[in-house]
Every structure is written in C-alpha cells, then in structure tokens.
Amino acid sequence: MEIELKKGEFKPALDILLEINNKPSLDLYWLLYGEKQTTRQKNNAEGKFNIKETDMIENFDKLNLDDQDEIIEFFKRK
C-alpha cells in the first residue's frame, strides 16, 4: 500500500513512527520537520556531546580531507 504524505495532512500513529525510526534508511526527523537534522540537534537530543563538541564536529565535517588531517595531527600534539 502506498501512502502519499503531505505536510500537515496526515498524522501517523505512534507505533508507525517508532517503526519508521527503527529503519536506518528512513529519516524520522525529516518526515516530522521537513528538513535534515543537524549533527548538533542529533547529538544534543541523544546527550552524546556538549555544545562545544558538536560545534567542533560540524565545522570539522565542512573541511576538506587535507585540512581534516592537519587538525587531527594538531590534536595529537596537544
């Protein structure tokens, strides 16, 4: 069965949302909010990292590979 979801027109039951959340290929956050969840939002929701750590990760991900390697070497020396 194929269901066409339109923002604000369909409210799935909790058990359906939980099942969607268990599928790694499906993004429940995108389905609920219509946008991709940022690293900061995800890590803060899971309680994994503090704000400084998530900020560092988000900015690290934006660097090219050579710059990432340079940062890693810098951390190793500290």
CA 43, 44, 49, 55 torsion-angle sign: positive
Residues contacting 62, CB < 8 A, separation 6+: none
Per-residue pLDDT reduced to its tens digit, 46-64: 667 777 887 888 888 889 9
Per-residue pLDDT reduced to its tens digit, 34-50: 777 776 666 666 667 77
| Domain boundaries, given as residue ranges, for the chain | 14-77
In angstroms, the CA 21 to CA 75 distance is: 35
pLDDT band at 1 (very low <50, low <70, confident <90, very high): very low
N residues, the chain:
78
